[in-house]
């Protein structure tokens, strides 16, 4: 049975890395001693070692260790034997590119479908959807496919931002970009605001955190979903 936390971000304003999620993670990863970290998204181009160190310091606060997948000779075996898995944020294109390059996307899906507890933040959440086509990231590399894990039946737009009234910004809003997506695609998209996350147990997906989320479905008006509500798409 799937057991996943899919969070919009790792860090909210005024807090340290993962701080707002740690109380939830302590319960969610109960009895876990070591978390396998997938640092492939490498935000700002930092090294895998540096990124893993950041995750390690955060999980140490709840008495859990972290080891990077790049530290194993056999990445597939590391995933299948992991007590729990965390995929951090950064650039979704590079994350997906490396998952394909290392041939571990299907292995990761297998582990999650079999119940290995999972945390994804930002890019690590984008990959939980049907595909990565609603990421906000620049296409700095070209992955073999945009198809991702498909552990939830819709896509994620992490860091979702509402239009700012009286803003002089003339570029597209997130809502505009998602509408463009729906001209050519049927897949529903959930806009996750900062500080919000999804808790997945089996086929049940529930919105958590202090904010609503915005659900976009093709040829329908967007819906605001309250925290605590199950997310259902048709």
Residue 121 phi, psi dihedral angles, 5° rounding: -125, 135
SS3 99: helix
Annotated active-site positions, please? Answer: 122, 137, 159
The whole-number average pLDDT for the span 220-227 is 96
- Residue 171's pLDDT is 61
- Going along the chain from its start, the domains and CATH numbers come out as 3-159+188-215 (3.40.50.880)
What token pair was written down for 140?
Answer: 């700095």
- Residue 111's pLDDT is 98
SS3 126: helix
- Residue 98's pLDDT is 98
Asked whether the predicted pLDDT for residue 141 surpasses 60, the reply is yes
**E strand map for the chain:** 3-7, 34-38, 65-68, 84-87, 118-121, 155-157, 189-191, 196-201, 204-209, 213-216, 223-225
- Residue 172's pLDDT is 76
Of all residues in the chain, the percent with pLDDT exceeding 70 is: 97
What pTM, to 2 d.p., does this model score?
A: 0.96
Containing 77, the helix (H) or strand (E) segment is: helix 75-81
Summarised one tens digit per residue, pLDDT across range 15-51 is 999 999 999 999 999 999 999 999 999 999 999 999 9
> Predicted confidence band at 167 (pLDDT cuts at 50, 70, 90)?
low
Asked whether the predicted pLDDT for residue 163 surpasses 80, the reply is no
Supply the DSSP string of 38-59, one letter for each residue.
E-TT-GGG--HHHHHHHHHHHH
Distance CA 126, CA 136 (A): 10
Q: Is 26:62 a contact under the CB 8 Å cutoff?
A: yes
- Residue 168's pLDDT is 62
Of all residues in the chain, the percent with pLDDT exceeding 90 is: 93
What is the chain's mean pLDDT, rounded? 96
Summarised one tens digit per residue, pLDDT across range 80-130 is 999 999 999 999 999 999 999 999 999 999 999 999 999 999 999 999 999
């Amino acid at each position: 049975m799937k057991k996943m936390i899919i969070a919009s971000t790792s860090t909210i304003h005024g807090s340290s890395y993962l701080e707002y999620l740690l109380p939830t993670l302590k319960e969610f990863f109960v009895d876990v001693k070591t978390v396998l970290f997938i640092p492939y998204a490498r935000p700002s181009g930092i090294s895998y070692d540096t990124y893993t160190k950041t995750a390690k310091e955060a999980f140490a606060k709840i008495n859990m260790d972290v080891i990077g997948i790049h530290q194993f000779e056999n990445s597939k075996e590391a995933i299948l034997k992991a007590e729990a898995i965390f995929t951090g944020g950064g650039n979704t294109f590079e994350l997906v590119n490396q998952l394909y390059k290392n041939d571990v996307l299907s292995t990761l899906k297998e582990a999650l479908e079999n119940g290995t507890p999972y945390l994804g933040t930002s890019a690590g959440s984008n990959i939980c959807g049907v595909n990565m086509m609603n990421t906000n990231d620049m296409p700095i590399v070209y992955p073999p496919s945009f198809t991702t894990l498909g552990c939830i039946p819709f896509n994620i737009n992490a860091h979702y931002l509402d239009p700012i009234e009286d803003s002089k910004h003339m570029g597209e809003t997130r809502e505009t970009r998602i509408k463009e997506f729906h001209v050519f695609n049927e897949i529903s998209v959930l806009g996750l605001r900062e500080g919000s996350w999804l808790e997945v147990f089996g086929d049940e997906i529930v919105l958590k955190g202090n904010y609503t989320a915005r659900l976009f479905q093709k040829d329908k008006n967007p819906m605001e979903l309250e925290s605590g509500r199950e997310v259902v798409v048709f």
